[in-house]
Amino acid sequence: MRLGVVDLSRVKAALRRRLQLMSEGVHDRKVIVIINGKGGVGKSSLSAAIAAALAKTGLQVLLIEIDEQGNHCEDLGTTGTELADDGQAQAAAILEGKPLTPTGEARPNLYVVPGGSALQDVIEELYCQRRVAATSDDPEDQLAWMGMYASAIDAVRHLYDVIVLDVAPGSEPLQLQALVAGDMALVPTRSDPSSRKGLRTVARRFAVAMRLNPQLRLLGVVLFATASAATRVQQKIRDQLAHDLNGAAGVMEQTIRHVEAAAVACRTHGRVPQELAASPDLDPALRRSMKALAGDYRSLALEVLQAKAELDQADANRKARR
Ligand SMILES: Nc1ncnc2c1ncn2[C@@H]1O[C@H](COP(=O)(O)OP(=O)(O)O)[C@@H](O)[C@H]1O
Ligand SMILES: [Mg+2]
């Protein structure tokens, strides 16, 4: 297809409708964006594990990987199955206005829209749309291109309880799309300086996305693959992160521990830690660390639901005051 030609009138109508729903207080929070401007900080591992944990509680979950990497196929073991489409369904929804249909159910209640190389066309289209938008004098036309994913996701959001977006670190247009489509962001980070720089990049994009998506909130930062369980070291890292966040949100209580062997085994087997922890085939040491990692993800999923409930309550209070 020719790029730079997606008609945005549908997108603009969808964005007007969601702003209307937000102003009426009836745009439920469902979409969790897992984001950091840096790669290798655990976005894909965390989004697959959290999505699986939430699906296990009976929630209907849609997991969308907005990334050319297509790592979820490894995380969920769908490589080579009909569920792995290299991002085709996602690209067709964004570029051709087709419904955003999952390729299938990777686990009971867990529906997936994979990423993959088909997203290259999407990224190119987004750059074209952004260039065209920059030439417009109309504020709505300047911003509408950022809502292409929001419009596609809003059309299917009534079908799910939770939608998890795993977003590529390197592509600014994709990150803006995800932040406009999302209701809450969760930011995994390691403690090194470049991951923390990635965090500040997200903060800037957050502010841009909020122009179209005023309801967007930061759920919190997740300290990922922490090498040390020492309270003193963790506290120092937490203090640094709190400083980076400048009061915008907290650091989640639950951290994800560093257990490389367990992480490698998960991708090799195509199972999330909670699933593999129950496997009788693992050697005892690996099983112990797998169980511990699974526990981290289970607790984090609960903390995410708790943080979401608090945002829901704040929304309800605001609505009652109006
Ligand atoms: N708990 C963990 N401890 C150590 N390494 C991990 C852990 N979880 C995942 N990893 C490894 O970290 C790397 C990056 O993870 P990934 O989830 O792909 O990050 P991202 O999506 O942010 O690029 C992968 O090689 C993965 O195997
Ligand atoms: Mg990833």
In this predicted structure, what is the pLDDT of residue 309? 95
In this prediction, what percent of the chain has a pLDDT beyond 90?
A: 72
Most confident of 3-12, 23-32, 70-79, 103-112: 103-112
Atom of ligand 1 nearest to the CA of 41: 22
Angle between helix axes 172-181 and 193-209 (nearest 10 degrees) is 60
- Judged against a pLDDT cut of 90, whether residue 185 lies above it is answered with yes
Ligand nearest to the CA of 256: 1
One-character DSSP codes across 204-247? HHHHHHTTT-TT-EEEEEEEEEES---HHHHHHHHHHHHHHHTT
Does the reported pTM lie above 0.85? yes
CA distances from 277 to 172, 176, 234, 271 (A): 36, 36, 26, 9
Q: How far is the CA of 273 from the centre of ligand 2 (A)?
A: 16
**CA 205 – CA 203 distance, rounded (Å):** 6
Atom of ligand 1 nearest to the CA of 67: 21
Considering only CA atoms, which residue is closest to atom 5 of ligand 1?
260
- In one-letter notation, the amino acid at residue 26 is V
Considering only CA atoms, which residue is closest to atom 26 of ligand 1?
263
pLDDT band at 198 (very low <50, low <70, confident <90, very high): confident
Ligand nearest to the CA of 293: 1
Q: How far is the CA of 66 from the centre of ligand 2 (A)?
A: 9
Domain boundaries defined on the chain: 9-17+25-257
Choose the residue to mutate in 44, 45, 221 for probing ligand 1, maximizing ligand atoms within 8 Å of C-beta: 45
Ligand nearest to the CA of 69: 2
Mean per-residue pLDDT over the chain, rounded? 91
Atom of ligand 1 nearest to the CA of 296: 1
Q: How far is the CA of 41 from the centre of ligand 1 (A)?
A: 6
Does the structural domain 9-17+25-257 have CATH classification 3.40.50.300? yes
